[in-house]
Amino acid sequence: MPCNDNSTKLIDLKDVIVKNVVQKAQITEIHIELTQKEHRCPCCGAATRTVHDYRIQHIKDIPILGKNVELILRKRRYRCQCGKRFFEENSFLPRYFRMTNRLSAFIINKLAGVSSFTSVAKEVALSVSTVIRVFNLVNYPSGTLPQAIGIDEFKGNTGKDKYQCIITDLNNNRVIDILETRYKQDLFSYFKHFDRSKTAYFVSDMWETYRDVSNTYFKKATYVIDKYHYARQVFWAFESVRKEEQKKHIKETRLAFKHSKGILYKRYDKLTPDEKIRVDTILYIGSDLLEAHYMKEQFLKLCGLRDPDIKKEALKEWITMARESHIQRFRDCGETFSRWFEGIVNSFYCSYSNAFTEGCNNKIKVLKRNAYGYRNFNRFRNRILHMFSNQNKIQAAT
HEC-encoded secondary structure of 271-305:
CCHHHHHHHHHHHHHCHHHHHHHHHHHHHHHHHCC
Predicted confidence pLDDT, tens digits, the chain (398 residues): 444 567 777 777 888 888 888 888 888 889 989 888 888 898 998 999 888 999 999 999 988 888 889 999 999 999 998 989 998 888 888 888 889 999 999 999 999 999 999 999 999 989 999 999 999 988 898 888 999 999 999 998 887 789 999 999 999 999 999 999 999 999 999 999 898 989 999 999 999 999 999 999 999 999 999 999 999 999 999 999 988 888 887 777 777 778 888 999 999 999 999 999 988 888 888 778 999 999 999 999 999 999 999 999 999 999 999 999 999 999 999 999 999 999 999 999 999 999 999 999 999 999 999 999 898 999 999 999 999 986 655 443 33
Supply the pLDDT for residue 395. 43
Supply the pLDDT for residue 390. 64
Distance CA 355, CA 112 (A): 22
Distance CA 385, CA 387 (A): 5
Q: What is the pTM assigned to this prediction?
A: 0.84
Distance CA 129, CA 370 (A): 17
Residue 290's closest CA among 344, 251, 330? 330
Supply the pLDDT for residue 398. 34
Supply the pLDDT for residue 394. 41
Helix (H) or strand (E) holding 32, with range, is strand 27-34
Distance CA 264, CA 258 (A): 11
Helix, strand, or coil (residue 139): coil
The residue type of 315 is L
Supply the pLDDT for residue 396. 39
Helix, strand, or coil (residue 51): strand
